Structure 1
Amino acid sequence: MEVSSVLLCSGCSPWQGFLLTASLLTSWLLPTTAQVTLESSPPQVVEGENVLLSVDNMPENIIGFGWFKGETDMNRGIALYSLRYTISLMGPVHSGRETLYGNGSLWIKNVTQEDTGFYTFRIINKHGKIQSNTTLFLHVKSSLFVCGHPFNPEQPTIESVPVSVSEWGSVLLRVHHLPNYLRTLFWYRGALVLNKLEIVRYRTFKDSYELGPAHSGRETMFNTGSLLLQNVTWKDTGFYTLRTLSTEFNVELIHIYLQVNKPVTQPILRVTESIVTVQSSVVFTCLSDNTGVSIRWLFKNQNLQVTERMTLSPSNCQLRIHAVRKKDAGQYRCEVFNPISSKTSLPVSLAVMNE
C-alpha cells in the first residue's frame, strides 16, 4: 500500500492509515539514503514573524513526504503531501498556521515561542517505504528584544498586488517598511539564496541594477525594492526572496509565495451506482485535471448541506452518503475552483428505491 492510496482510504482516518502503513514498513530510525538538507529562512525568527522550513536536494521517484514536530514521535504529524494526487493532509498537531507545499517546504505563520523545537522531514519512496528522516531545530526568540535591542514591529514585508494572478497577467511584489541605509537589494527565484537563483540586484549607492542568471526578461526591479513580473505563467509559481544588505553589512531575508493560477477545466463526476436502495451507501467522485483547486458539492443546483450521514474526503474530491434515504434522490454536481475561475461538472442523477 502506498501513500496515495492510504491518503484516500475510506475505512479509516487518512492520517492513521498513513501511520499504520509506515509503521509496518519500517522503523523510525533509518539510514538517510538521500542527502536531504533543511534550512530555516530567516535563520533567526522572532515571535509574530513567519518562517519557511525549506528542503534542498529532494530525491526523485518519491510518492510523498511529511513534516513532524519532534524527533521520534511519529504521531505528532503536522502535514503530509501526496505527489501523485497533489494533495496535502493536515496532521494531529497542525495548528492552522502551517502550509505544506509541493516542493517540501513548510511555511509557518505568526510563530510563537511554543513553536521552538525539533522538526522532522520524512520522505516516502516509490515503493511506499520511508526513505529518509531529516531533522532541524527551530528557535523562536522573544518579541521583546532581539540581540539586546527592542523589537521593531515594522519589519519589512512583501505583498502580492494583486493577491491572485492568472497566467499572462502581471503582478507586483511590493515591499513595505524597507529600512534605511541599505547598500544592496537582491531578488532570488526561490527560498534559497544561491547565485544561480538571483534575478536582479540594486546597488543604492550607485543607483544601478545588475541582472542575475535567473532573470527571464520579464522582471523589473524598482529602487523601492519592489519587483514587477510580467506575462507570468504557472511555472512562475513559488517562493521569491528579497535579500537586503545594510551599510553595516547586516543581511536580512524576506520571503513571499506567489501563486499563478490557470483557468480550471470542467471536472467529471462519477458515482458507484446511479440506482440504490434505501439504507445502502453510495460514493460520488469528482475527477479534475487541475491541481491546487478547491471543490464544492451541489445538490439540486444548491450548495449541498452535509449531514451526519455524509462523509467528505480530506480534499473534498469524494462524497460518501451512508444509509441513503429517499430525500437523497436527485441531481448532484461538483464544482472545482481557484481564485480566478470555476467550472461545474455535468449533473449525475441518483435514484433511491425501496428495498
Structure 2
Amino acid sequence: MESPSASPHRGHVPWQGLLLAVSLLTVWIPSTMAEYIVEPVPPIAAEGMDVLLLLHSPPQNAEYYAWYKGETPDASLRIVTYTVQGSSVNKGPKYTDRYTIFPNGSLLIQNVIQDDTGNYTIGVIDDSFVPIYVTVQLHVYYTQLSSNDTQPIEGKESVVLTCEPDIPGMTYQWYKDGKELQEIPDRLQLSSNNRILTLLNVTREDVGIYECEISNSMTVIFKNSLTLNISYGPDTPTISPPEENYCSGTNLSFLCDTDSYPPAQYTWLINGQIWESTQQLHILNISLSDSGSYTCKAYNSITDVSNITVKNITVHETVAQPSIQVNNTTVTEKDILVLTCLTAEPVISTHWIFNSQSLQLTERTRLSLDNSTLTIDPVMMEDEGEYQCEVIMGCSSKSDPVRIAVRAMDTENTHLLPGAIAGIVIGAFVAVILLCILAYFLYCSKTRRDRSRATFTTTTTSPNSLPPPVLRNHKVSGQDQSDTSPAEIHEVAYSSLNFHVLQPKQSTPASLSPGATDTVYSEVRKK
C-alpha cells in the first residue's frame, strides 16, 4: 500500500499512513513452575493493525487470568481480569476499549499505537491458587520513508531516501512508479542492506513515487511510499501564436509557456518596458505604434533561474480588398479557365479559396510564381462554384466571391480524345470480325443446302429408272422428221430442268402443267 510521507502522530491511523513496527519478544520470569508461553500474532505489526497476545496451552483447571501493563503484577497496572467461573470480566486502571480478553486468557490489542510500547504480564491461576506470571516485551519501531532534501534542485543536488526502521534479518526492496529499482553506477546507489537509496545529481526524470518494501522470508511486513519532486527550469519559454505581422484595428493575444517546477512566474515587456506579470498578454485595437519587441520572462523562485524569449511584431495598415479578374464566368467543359487576383499594392502572399474552403491543387490546376493567377486546364463540371482570393500583408483581406458556371460540352462539336478514338477503332474491328463470322456461317449453310438438293434430284430422276422412250416424229429447227423403221436405232439424250414458277393466274388441270417442284424431261434426238 502507498501513502505520502508525513510526520509521525498519535491516534488511530489507517494502514496507508505512517507505520509503526511492533516487535513482540516473548520472555517470562524464571520459575520452576513456569509452563506457559505467550506468542504475539502477528510477530511484527504496523500501527493501525490488531495484535493478539496468544496464550498457548492454557490450563484445564484455570480459575482466572489477569493482564498487567508492566513487568510486575501491580494492581495499579492491571488492565483486565477474567474469572473463568461465571465468565466475568473485571476492568482495571489501564483498561481501554482497545483491549479484549478471551476465555482462554489471550489478550487482543486493537489499533496498536506507539504508546503501546512496553511490557505486558499475564498471571495464570489454576485450582492450586499458585499464580504463574509470564511477561511479554512490546517494542514499537518508528517507521517512515524519509528524504534528506524536500526540494532538491535538478543537476545540483543528490537525494538520500532512507527506509525505517532498521530491523535485523529483514529484506529491503525499492520501487519507483511500481517498477523494481536496481543499482546504477553514477546514478543510483544502494546501501549494503538496501535500506538506503541514493540518487546522484537528480534530474526531472527522477520525479515519481518511491516505495520501500520490508519483508521477511514469508511475507511483506511494511510498504512505505514517498512522492519525490525535483525543482527544475524554467526552460526557454515559447510565445504563441508564431505570427509576426498583424493588422491595425485587431486585437493582439499572446501566450507564454515553459516547462518548470514549481510553475514559473511570467512577466511581459514591450520594447523593454515592463507591461504586466501574467502568462497571457492581451492588447485591444492595436495600431501602428504597437509594432516592436515583445519579451516574455519566466522565473523559478526555487531554482532562482530565469529565461526569456523575444518576439518582434509589425502592425500594418488595413489591406485594400482584392478583386478577381476573369474573362468569362461561364465556361464549357474542356476549356481553359484563368482567374487573376488583383491588388492595389504588393502583398506577402495570396491564397485561393473554393466554395469557402482552401483550394486543393490537382493535376489540372496550377498557380503562378506569386500565386496571383490560377489556371484550370481542362475545366470539368466539378470546377463549378465560388472562387475567392485572399491577400496577406500582415493582415489579410478577401475578395468578393466570383461564381463560375460550367456548361456540358456540345457533343456535335466534340473533339474525340485519344481514348475515345481508340475505343471506336476497337469497336469497329470487333464488328468486322463478327460480320465475317456471320457471312462465313451463312455461306456454309447455303452450300450444305445446295449439295443436299443436287443429291436428291440425281438419285430420284436417273434415266436408268425411266421407261423406254417412245419415239415419235418431232420437228426440230423447223424441219419435218419421220420414223424410217421400227428397227432403226436412234441415240437419245435426256436432260432435266427444274422449274420454279409462280402460281398461274388461272387454274389449269394439274395433269397439263408441272408443279413448282416437278421435273420436266425432254427428248433430244441426235442426228
TM range (shorter): 0.3 to 0.5
Q: What TM-score, normalized to structure 2?
A: 0.29
Which structure's residues are more often strand, by fraction? Answer: 1
Larger Cα-atom Rg: 2
- Higher normalized contact order (CA 8 Å, seq sep 6+, divided by chain length): 1
